[in-house]
Amino acid sequence: MASAETRYADPTALHGFARALDACHDAAAPGALVASGDGWVIASTARLPGGVPVPGGAGAAVAMAGGAPAAPAEVLEAFADGLVRLHREAVRGVLDAAVARLDQRRSEGANLLNRQLVQGAVADVALVLSEAEDLLALADPTAGRRRHVHRRLVTAGRAALQLHGASGFVATGPGSLLHLTELLGNTYLHPGER
């Protein structure tokens, strides 16, 4: 079974991400699925048959409303911790793939990765990833800290996606994965916010 710390060799691997999401459910509540504060459950199609496809999820993840009793606070917190770590790993995978891609591309006789603006964008995303790792390692995690990390990762993920150029926004690009991470965070970490 994949762990929440799984690295993504292919950042577009939505099915691998969905399996890692299932692992987050199992780590927080073995054998069960964790519902958000609003009663939504998001998991892989294998774990949640009958769920409706998540927009942009390419059929890898589905959602279902209601039916699940509210989980104890410690279960919700453990799941939220795993979810934020999974989000961080996804952004890291998208950044790594962008750097590898840019290192292979040349324009006007120069390697794209060596351009100052590109290096600045890579550094900005890497800084957010480092900050997220440090914040997640602090004792006594709070809901506010998780929401802060999620918001910063959303911004960093969008910046990493732009480094892919147009290929980041095609159906098979990493945009779908990042969209799913944003949706998960908005569902589980920001319940009740409109």
Phi and psi at 171, nearest 5°, equal -60, -35
For residue range 31-82, what is the model confidence (pLDDT) as tens digits?
Answer: 999 999 888 999 999 999 999 999 877 788 999 997 566 678 889 999 999 9
Region 143-152 average pLDDT: 96
**What CATH number should be reported for the domain whose range is 11-189?**
1.20.140.10
Q: What is the pLDDT of residue 12?
A: 47
- Secondary structure letter of residue 43 according to DSSP: E
pLDDT of residue 8: 43
pLDDT at 191: 67
DSSP H helical segments within the chain, as ranges? 14-28, 73-104, 116-137, 143-163, 175-188
pTM: 0.88
Confidence at residue 1, expressed as pLDDT on a 0 to 100 scale: 35
Domain ranges of the chain: 11-189
- Give me the half-sphere count of Cα atoms (radius 13 Å) on the Cβ side of residue 191: 12
- Position 167 scores a pLDDT of 78
**Cα–Cα distance between 188 and 157 in angstroms, integer?**
18
pLDDT digits (tens, 9 = 90+) for 72-129: 888 999 999 999 999 999 999 999 999 999 999 988 888 999 999 999 999 999 999 9
Q: Predicted confidence band at 193 (pLDDT cuts at 50, 70, 90)?
A: low
**189 vs 72, which has greater pLDDT?**
189
What pLDDT is attached to residue 2?
Answer: 38
Residue 6 is classified by DSSP as: -
Q: For 151-185, how does the pLDDT look when each residue is reduced to its tens digit (9 = 90+)? A: 999 999 999 999 998 777 777 778 889 999 999 99
Q: Yes or no: say if 88 and 153 are a contact pair by the CB < 8 Å rule.
A: yes
* pLDDT per position as a tens digit, 3-21: 333 444 454 478 889 999 9
CA distances 123 to 28, 39, 83, 118, 126, Å, are 33, 38, 24, 9, 5
